[in-house]
Structure 1
Amino acid sequence: MTDQQAIPPADPNLACAPDGTVFRNPARPQPKRNVRKALHNFRELIKDKENTALVFGIYEALPSKAFLPRARELTLSETGQALRAAEPFLPPILDDHAELRKLPAGSVAHAYCDFMEREGLSAAGLVAESEKAGRPQYDDLIQWYGFRQRDTHDLMHVLTGYGRDALGEQCVLLFTHGQQPAPGHLLLGYAGALNIVKQVKSKAPVFKAVREAHRIGKACPPLVAMSIRDLLAMDLVEARKALGITPAKWYAECHRVWKSEGVDPYDLLGKQMQEQKLAA
């Protein structure tokens, strides 16, 4: 048989899991980069940081070239198949606080429940925010992998100790980029940090904090490839040691500096906005 007659290799996108689920649904469109849309969404997000739908829009507009190879490597592996069988969809597991509270005190599960209840959050709520964009869903392995990335976001807050303040969110995004590089993480993380520096005149080491978060993320194995049930059952301190998650000293220093300057880390623009109103 000549080279011209050789059978071409099978399309890796059409590879299937043992249960027949295709890696990539043929109807799924090819990701396209749209920098203008990403920047527009980012500017809108600065005005309303609680509008999570804008975040998902940024990710969609800045697709990562490494996403599909990473998804393929995990989902078609024995590890990925075992995870998909045990944890087909994370929100019901993460939102069952009654069951999670049965795990030992001091566990990741208890810290997660404390965090979510204190902040008034739920995994189902994050799903609802992501669905506001109206993107179609596809029954394939990529969808399972993407949902898993989304649904572990708040768990990263718990493991790293970063809060839901403006800087804490940027740090979690760059921690995530350290684990699973994507242009959206970089834009949100570093541009968000720059916006904080521009808007809040302070000696707080903001860029040291986000760079530290990036380094910590690189040292931590990807959560998406771990058993979340097993992780939740671990002691929080031991889990951090096992994952190489060290204390975020520069993030803590930013909070200390801001408080000494009379700035609330959870309302960075509040003081300045009030001054502007009084001067108007």
Structure 2
Amino acid sequence: MKRSARDAYTRLHASDGTVLLHPERPAARYRPLRAVKAFQALIKDKEDTSLVFKIFESLPSNDFMPRVRDLALSEQGEMLRSTEPSLPEILDDHAALRRTPKGSLAHAYCDFMESEGLSAAGLVAEAERLGRAKYPDLVQWFMERSRDTHDLFHVLTGYGRDALGEQCVLLFTHGQSPSQGHLLIGYAGAANIAKMIKGSKAPVFGAVRQAHRTGKGAPQLMAQPIRELLARPIDEVRAELRIPEPSQYRECHRVWQAEGIDPYDLLATKAKTDEPALLAA
């Protein structure tokens, strides 16, 4: 970002005085080698969410600040900041969420998080493991809201936490908020899956491309009033946000199961296919 543009962003602020870009916030640095190394480590340990944050930090988007400005300084952004200052507090209050009608997004979200042993606070903790400094600006709000809606993407799109499901969610997210980090993890991750299970007829790339298209065609989720969406029927929310059935992803699961492959344990599948070669050696 040019110095003149950066200076201009530091002079913009919301109606409550919160500055768009804090002058002490370090300028983003483009570090592709760091991103590649983090991705290689992520392949070995997909549960290490901190590596995902490192990849995104290393591949900053050129249009990130314009997107922050357009949402944070809009009437919608002002409303979201005043009514939903902390999404983790809303999302982790399962008792309140369970009081919504059956079939709501809230019930589906609670079912997903509880079955996976996840919490919004846990995702916050993963991000804070990096030790990044926080600044009282709208960039901080934007980044945190983007982070805190990640698991809602899983629930709304129907993509699970298996390896392919995570790639699909990342490419859906790229459609919503483009960044090279999403592209790297999404498509390189899909290529790694296809490499691990050679010969499978599952449409892996069809699945990630469908997720990418869906993300591009859907309204930006983080710009929506999350509390209101949670109380509504999940099918109604999906229709309004133009999120169709993840047909290609589900076809991958169907094909893999028919081929004797566990979609949730591809590493074990790879180990089994490698075993004869290891014994022959």
Could you say what secondary structure the match of 2:260 adopts? coil
1:158 equivalent in alignment to 2:149: no
Structure-2 residue corresponding to 1:215:
213
1:13 CA drift (Å) = 2.6
SS of 1:269's partner is helix
Q: Report the alpha carbon displacement of residue 182 of structure 1 after superposing the two structures with TM.
A: 0.7
* Offset of residue 277 of structure 1: 5.5
* Alpha-carbon distance between aligned partners in 1 of 2:207 and 2:89, rounded to the nearest angstrom: 33
Indicate the SS of the match to 1:11: helix
Does residue 50 (structure 1) correspond to residue 50 (structure 2)? The answer is no
More off after superposition, 46-55 vs 17-26? 17-26
Deviations 1:161-190, CA, capped at 9 Å, x for gaps = 000000000000000111111110000100
How many angstroms does 1:276 deviate by? 3.9
8 Å contact kept, 1:89–1:144 = no
Could you tell me how far 1:274 is from its partner in structure 2? 4.1
Give unpaired runs (5+ residues) of structure 1: 1-9
Q: What SS is found at the alignment partner of 2:151?
A: helix
Instruction: Provide, for residues 89-116 of structure 1, a one-character-per-residue CA deviation record: whole Å limited to 9, x for no partner.
Output: 1101000000000111100000000000
Aligned: 1:235 with 2:233: yes
Match of 2:116 among 109, 114, 119: 119
Which residue of 2 is the match for residue 75 of structure 1? 72
| 265-274 or 169-178: bigger deviation | 265-274
For residue 64 of structure 1, what is the aligned residue in structure 2? 61
Give the AA of the match of 1:21.
T
Quote the residue 1:131 is aligned against: 128
Are residues 1:13 and 2:1 paired? no
Q: What SS does the corresponding residue of 2:266 show, helix, strand or coil?
A: coil
Among candidates 92, 100, 103, match of residue 103 of structure 1: 100
Shift of 1:244: 0.5
- Name the amino acid aligned to 2:239: K
Please give the residue correspondences for 1:181-196 in structure 2 after superposition, counting only pairs within 5 Å: 181-196=178-193
In 2, Cα distance between the equivalents of 1:165 and 1:207? 15
Aligned residue number for residue 268 of structure 2 = 270
Matched, 1:247 2:242: no
Count of matched residue pairs: 271
CA contact (8 A) 1:123 1:151 kept: yes
Paired residue for 2:4? none
TM (normalized to structure 1)?
0.94
Cα deviation, residue 74, structure 1: 0.9
Task: Measure how far apart 1:275 and its partner are.
Answer: 5.0
Distance 1:196 1:272 in 2: 10
Q: Does 1:25 align with 2:3?
A: no
Moved more, 13-22 or 158-167: 13-22
> How many angstroms does 1:127 deviate by?
0.4
Q: Which residue of 2 aligns with 1:142?
A: 139
Once the two structures are TM-superposed, the CA of residue 268 in structure 1 deviates from its matched residue by: 1.1
CA contact (8 A) 1:161 1:248 kept: yes
CA distance in 2 between counterparts of 1:143 and 1:70 reads 13
Q: Mind listing any 5+ residue stretches in structure 2 that lack a counterpart?
A: 1-6
Report if the CA contact (8 A) 1:200-1:269 is conserved. no
Query: Could you state the TM-score of these two structures normalised by the residue count of structure 2?
Result: 0.94
| 2:91 equivalent in structure 1 | 94
Give the conservation status (yes or no) of the 8 Å contact 1:255–1:265: yes
Letter in 1 for 2:204: V
Aligned position for 2:224: 226
Q: Distance in 2 between matches of 1:111 and 1:137?
A: 32
Q: Which residue type is aligned with residue 33 of structure 2?
A: R
